């Protein structure tokens, strides 16, 4: 068998293993090890596995994962995440499906201090989903809203994927951050419009029953300001440090975690025993995420070794298809790969091939980067990989909640993301106007 045939067979094998119920990380490691062994031999496969573990887990950039996860958990313990949700619940409670819209905008604000979708998914699966189900929303819709809006964590600055793209494209990290603001707002609005349309035309999808929860107590303006102050303070620490040039992203994550810890201690919501449990939980979530990163990196290297991505790129991008023909194929390829592998791995596989073509086509590389990140984020919601979906499933601790139910809940938000991508293609100024200032 040729390397390309081995790579294609390994990809098919991964799909079969996932649908048989094998955990994604273990499935990736299995097919990757066997694929490399078939192409280069057992010894090379063993050496590559060790090299991947060393390279992927010691990367300084990935230190943001435990820091932002810890910050998200501290925010949850100190009720800051819930306060953010409560503020938007008060502001939007009278709107149709207002709790869903409140979840979207609370996620958008929370994204401005986390920079990673995993933390948003973890926090709001515990804060918003129980509150929404208590008020008569379907569990499918509630988890779908949280999963869909969690992607804002990777788009609204600070963003891990924006940093990765900036490094690969040799663009300014600051310009990439600024370019993510407009599309982030667009995506939040698109999600809100989707929720309103669902509530009007698909009530059975949104509402399970009449609101049976107790009426929410109205807050005064001072009460709203008091609840909003902690989250605004954390945004000032994280974003102020980043844009002021005092902190890099990892240091900003550490400063944010420290700020969240101080808030939790001031609110007396953290005793030694609960702090230890929180550290253990942060460690467990971090290990699971890093294990997925390790497995996805190994799978990506196996695919690169087999020549499957390069062969697909040469097949699809060859010929006189024109700049926007190339762009359409590129975005469709990202969406297809998003069903199989993680966001960073997709970028590491495709960008070295696509960036020279995009530059030759005359595309603005900042705009091209925003499109890449938004499209890559679709993969967080699509089966079988859907990392945000699996994070919500693990964070909910509800044995009756099925992964398929969450995936069905995310479908309308995948559609909203595709519409947003089309708008950014048609109107590049959405992404570039701030970056050009």
pLDDT at 218: 64
pLDDT at 420: 95
Cβ neighbours for 206, distance < 8 A, ≥ 6 positions apart: 97, 100, 137, 138, 141, 195, 198, 199
Confidence at 52, pLDDT banded by 50, 70, 90: confident
pLDDT at 194: 94
Asked if residue 216 has pLDDT above 70, the reply is no
Mean pLDDT of 14-18: 78
Confirm whether pTM is higher than 0.85: no
- Per-residue pLDDT tens for 19-32? 787 877 788 889 88
Asked if residue 297 has pLDDT above 70, the reply is yes
More confident residue, 366 or 382: 366
Cβ neighbours for 273, distance < 8 A, ≥ 6 positions apart: none
DSSP letter (8 states) at residue 171: -
Residue 272 structure tokens = 């030694």
pLDDT at 248: 75
Mean pLDDT of 362-383: 90
Residue 179 structure tokens = 């370019």
Task: Answer positive or negative: Cα dihedral of 111, 114, 120, 124.
Answer: negative
Confidence at 367, pLDDT banded by 50, 70, 90: very high
Confidence at 59, pLDDT banded by 50, 70, 90: low
pLDDT at 369: 94
Terminal Cα-to-Cα distance of the chain (whole angstroms)? 54
DSSP letter (8 states) at residue 341: S
More confident residue, 59 or 388: 388
Please compute, for residue 387, the number of CA atoms within 13 A of its CA located in the half-sphere on the CB side: 28
pLDDT at 183: 93
pLDDT at 309: 66
More confident residue, 410 or 337: 410
Angle value at C-alpha 350, between 47 and 120, nearest 5 degrees: 90
Question: What value does the mean pLDDT of the chain take?
Answer: 81
Angle value at C-alpha 72, between 67 and 77, nearest 5 degrees: 125
375 C-beta neighbours (distance < 10 Å), count: 24
User: Which of 42, 156, 144, 76 lies closest to 108, judged by CA?
Assistant: 156
Confidence at 116, pLDDT banded by 50, 70, 90: low
pLDDT at 336: 85
pLDDT at 404: 84
The residue whose two tokens read 């902190």 is 247
Share of the chain above pLDDT 70, in %: 88
Alpha helices, H only, 41-172: 42-57, 64-77, 80-92, 98-114, 117-134, 139-150, 160-169
Mean pLDDT of 397-422: 88
pLDDT at 22: 80
Asked if residue 214 has pLDDT above 60, the reply is no
Asked if residue 56 has pLDDT above 70, the reply is no
Share of the chain above pLDDT 90, in %: 14
Confidence at 191, pLDDT banded by 50, 70, 90: very high
User: Which of 131, 135, 126, 101 lies closest to 208, judged by CA?
Assistant: 135
Asked if residue 316 has pLDDT above 90, the reply is no
- Per-residue pLDDT tens for 238-267? 778 877 778 876 787 788 889 889 988 888
Asked if residue 140 has pLDDT above 80, the reply is yes
């Amino acid at each position: 068998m040729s390397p390309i045939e081995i790579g294609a067979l390994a990809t098919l094998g991964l799909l079969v293993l996932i649908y048989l119920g094998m955990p994604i990380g273990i499935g990736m490691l299995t097919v990757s090890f066997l694929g490399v062994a078939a192409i280069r031999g057992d010894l090379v496969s063993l050496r590559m596995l060790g090299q991947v573990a060393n390279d992927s887990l010691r990367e300084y950039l990935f230190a943001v994962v435990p820091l932002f996860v810890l910050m998200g958990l501290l925010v949850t313990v100190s009720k800051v995440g819930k306060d953010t949700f409560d503020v938007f619940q008060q502001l939007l409670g009278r709107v149709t499906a207002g709790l869903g819209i409140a979840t979207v905008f609370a996620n958008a604000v929370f994204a401005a201090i986390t920079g990673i979708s995993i933390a948003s998914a973890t926090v709001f699966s515990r804060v918003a989903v129980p509150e929404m189900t208590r008020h008569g929303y379907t569990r499918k819709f509630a988890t779908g809203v949280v999963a869909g809006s969690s992607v804002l964590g990777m788009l609204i600055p600070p963003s891990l994927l924006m940093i990765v793209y900036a490094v690969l494209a040799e663009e300014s990290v600051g310009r990439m951050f600024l370019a993510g603001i407009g599309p982030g707002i667009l995506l939040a609005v698109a999600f809100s419009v989707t929720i309103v349309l669902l509530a009007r035309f698909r009530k059975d999808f949104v509402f399970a029953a009449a609101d049976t929860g107790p009426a929410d107590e109205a807050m005064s303006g001072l009460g709203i300001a008091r609840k909003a102050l902690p989250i605004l303070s954390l945004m000032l620490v994280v974003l102020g440090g980043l844009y002021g040039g005092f902190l890099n992203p990892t240091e900003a994550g550490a400063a944010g975690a420290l700020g969240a810890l101080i808030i939790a201690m001031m609110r007396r919501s953290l005793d030694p025993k609960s702090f230890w449990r929180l550290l253990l939980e942060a460690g467990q979530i971090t290990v699971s995420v890093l294990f997925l990163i390790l497995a996805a990196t190994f799978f990506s290297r196996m695919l690169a070794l087999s020549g499957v991505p390069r062969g697909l790129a040469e097949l699809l991008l060859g010929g006189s298809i024109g700049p926007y023909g190339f762009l359409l194929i590129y975005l469709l390829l990202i969406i297809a790969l998003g069903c199989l592998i993680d966001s960073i791995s997709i970028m590491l596989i495709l960008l070295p091939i696509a960036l020279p073509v995009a530059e030759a086509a005359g595309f603005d590389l900042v705009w091209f980067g925003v499109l890449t990140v938004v499209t890559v984020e679709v993969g967080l919601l699509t089966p079988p990989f859907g990392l945000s979906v699996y994070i919500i499933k693990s964070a909910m601790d509800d044995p009756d909640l099925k992964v398929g139910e969450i995936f069905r809940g995310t479908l309308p938000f995948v559609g909203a993301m595709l519409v947003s991508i089309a708008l950014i293609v048609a109107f590049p100024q959405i992404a570039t106007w701030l970056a050009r200032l």
